Amino acid sequence: MYEFSPEEIRTIVRNYLETDSDDFVVVSSSLAAHSTSKVGFMGDHRNLVVEFRRSADSPSVESKHFFLKTLPAREDSANLPDLVVEGGLFDHEAEFFNRVAPLLKQSLCEAAGGEGDDDDFCPRCYLANGEILVLEDLRDRGYAMCESKLFELAELKAAARALARLHASGLLADLRGDRPLLELYPGAFAEILFTEGTIRFKRLDLAADLIEALAGKLGRDPSRVRSAVHRGFAVAYRYRRRSSGHCKCGGDSPSSWLTQSSSSASNVFLLELFHVFYTLTINKNSSSISLSRWSAAGRGRRRGPRRRCGPARAAVGTSARPPAGERDCAPDPSRCRRCARCRRPPARPAASCCNSNTSTSCIYSQIYATVGYTCIIIIIIIIIIIIIIIIIIIIIIIIIIIIIIIIIIIIIIIIIIIIIIRVRRGNDDDSCSALVSLSISRLL
């Protein structure tokens, strides 16, 4: 249980009152349960109740409820708290609310001509660090969680507007500043989930196992599932690493961080922003749209022409294209495309670059191919040239040393010959010694 210090409580009240003075007086503070049962698993949720007077002379005591999010308790899960702490999810979210969110809201406010709360895409934050987040309680403004995780058309439009405010605010903030926010606050946009570690930790294989099991229960062919998952990750990974056309996006599922006004579904707030990153806007919008389409199909409200089996006009392997809204079949049901009636898988072979036992080397080879083998070849050539130059220098040094040694040997031989000649001429020992000393001194 997190314990607030008196200064932290005063900071929360000061930020709530939007004042720099300390004229207010904190009367009391307490924690209360946010709901009767645990909601979510990325953190513990509680209500922080603070009673205060706006001034020392004020007779009335105000009570304000704040939404408190803390690190999850370790007894809730064996691995999840470590993921939250080691992954730095709270640090990322605190960095976003402390540094990035004010700039994003300011950009929207200036673009809207000074209008305020209607352009908010996330709740106000009054205190954020690596352990807690103190946000406004949106229930005070008439908001509540969506009753269903499957969106109606009005909910989808509201979600699209909220996402558009987040995306547009990031683009506007980048245009207003000298440098993009990604360069100013890289810690707030660091990728912590969609990384190569996803492969190393075999999370893709776990997802493929689940899809294969589901396909088997539905009577579908699961032979191509695993290769499709790995190849799809490779494509998405390459797009996520591009810098052009990217903006700020939230990383959590849309159905888990959307709230709507109790009076209408026209306003939506984004709650979970622990994983904000630069990516293409289509990544987040497509997931919201897919939820809405599943919602319409599940409730029998799907519109448009139905797909049906028809004449043998679009057999597999032909270039003929069926009319819009139809998906025709070949005479042979075993070669039929998937359609609403027969539900048969295509008979063409499941050819792919990876087999069902795909290892991580396949996905890595595709990622490395995007970097280009040219850079690798250039680096290898440079290393070889450096090694050759070093070898040549060493050979030259050895040759010089050998030449010096030969010269010294020749000089010594000449001196010895001179001494022998002098001795034979009958010089005394003193003269020979003097001659040797003189020769050595000259040599040195």
111-120, 222-231, 413-422, range with the lowest pLDDT: 111-120
Q: Flag whether 108 is in a domain.
A: no
Percent of the chain with pLDDT over 70: 57
**What would the pLDDT profile of 243-274 be if each residue is shown by its tens digit?**
544 555 655 555 555 666 655 666 777 776 65
Q: Flag whether 65 is in a domain.
A: no
- Average pLDDT of the chain is 71
Q: Is the pLDDT of residue 318 over 50?
A: no
Phi, psi of 5 (to 5 degrees): -85, 160
- Are 286 and 253 in contact by the 8 Å Cβ rule? The answer is no
Shared domain for 156 and 261, answered yes or no, is yes
Q: Flag whether 66 is in a domain.
A: no
Q: Which two tokens stand for residue 31?
A: 């924690």
**What would the pLDDT profile of 11-63 be if each residue is shown by its tens digit?**
999 999 999 888 999 999 999 887 777 666 677 888 999 999 999 888 899 99
Closest C-alpha among 121, 145, 149, 144 to residue 292 = 149
Closest C-alpha among 199, 177, 32 to residue 104 = 177
H or E element at residue 31: strand 25-33
Q: Flag whether 138 is in a domain.
A: no
- Are 65 and 105 in contact by the 8 Å Cβ rule? The answer is no
Closest C-alpha among 329, 328, 330, 324 to residue 305 = 324
- Residues facing residue 29 across a β-bridge: 50
Question: To 10 degrees, the CA torsion angle through 196, 197, 200, 205?
Answer: -90
89-93, 148-152, 355-359, range with the lowest pLDDT: 355-359
pLDDT average, residue stretch 393-409: 95
Q: Which two tokens stand for residue 246?
A: 């990217």
Q: Is the pLDDT of residue 444 over 70?
A: no
Phi, psi of 365 (to 5 degrees): -65, -35
Percent of the chain with pLDDT over 90: 20
DSSP symbols for 209-250: HHHHHHHHHTT---TTHHHHHHHHHHHHHHHHT--TT-EEEE
- Are 284 and 160 in contact by the 8 Å Cβ rule? The answer is no
Write down which residue in 236, 264, 280 finishes a domain: 280
- Are 7 and 19 in contact by the 8 Å Cβ rule? The answer is no
Shared domain for 274 and 380, answered yes or no, is no
Q: Which two tokens stand for residue 295?
A: 């919602």
Q: Is the pLDDT of residue 302 over 90?
A: no
Burial environment of residue 291 by CB neighbours within 10 A (0 to 12, 13 to 18, 19 or more): buried
Q: Which two tokens stand for residue 49?
A: 């109740």
Q: Flag whether 423 is in a domain.
A: yes
Q: Flag whether 204 is in a domain.
A: yes
Closest C-alpha among 56, 39, 46, 233 to residue 133 = 46
Shared domain for 155 and 249, answered yes or no, is yes
Shared domain for 270 and 369, answered yes or no, is no
Number of domains in the chain: 2
Straight-line distance from the first to the last Cα atom of the chain, in angstroms, rounded to the nearest whole number: 85
pLDDT average, residue stretch 408-433: 78
Shared domain for 160 and 266, answered yes or no, is yes
Q: What per-residue confidence (pLDDT) applies to 265?
A: 60
- What's the CA gap between 69 and 90, in Å, rounded? 10
Q: Flag whether 237 is in a domain.
A: yes
- Are 169 and 247 in contact by the 8 Å Cβ rule? The answer is no
What residues have CB less than 8 Å from 260, skipping those under 6 apart? 143, 144, 146, 155, 158, 267, 268
Range of the structural domain that residue 169 is part of: 145-280
Amino acid at residue number 360: T
The model's confidence at residue 360, banded by pLDDT at 50, 70 and 90, is: very low
Q: Flag whether 116 is in a domain.
A: no
Q: How far is CA 396 from the centre of its chain?
A: 53
Q: Is the pLDDT of residue 331 over 80?
A: no
Distances in whole angstroms, Cα of residue 174 to Cα of each of 163, 257, 326: 17, 25, 45
**What would the pLDDT profile of 225-248 be if each residue is shown by its tens digit?**
888 887 877 776 665 555 544 555
Shared domain for 149 and 273, answered yes or no, is yes
The model's confidence at residue 107, banded by pLDDT at 50, 70 and 90, is: confident
- What's the CA gap between 306 and 293, in Å, rounded? 15
Burial environment of residue 56 by CB neighbours within 10 A (0 to 12, 13 to 18, 19 or more): exposed
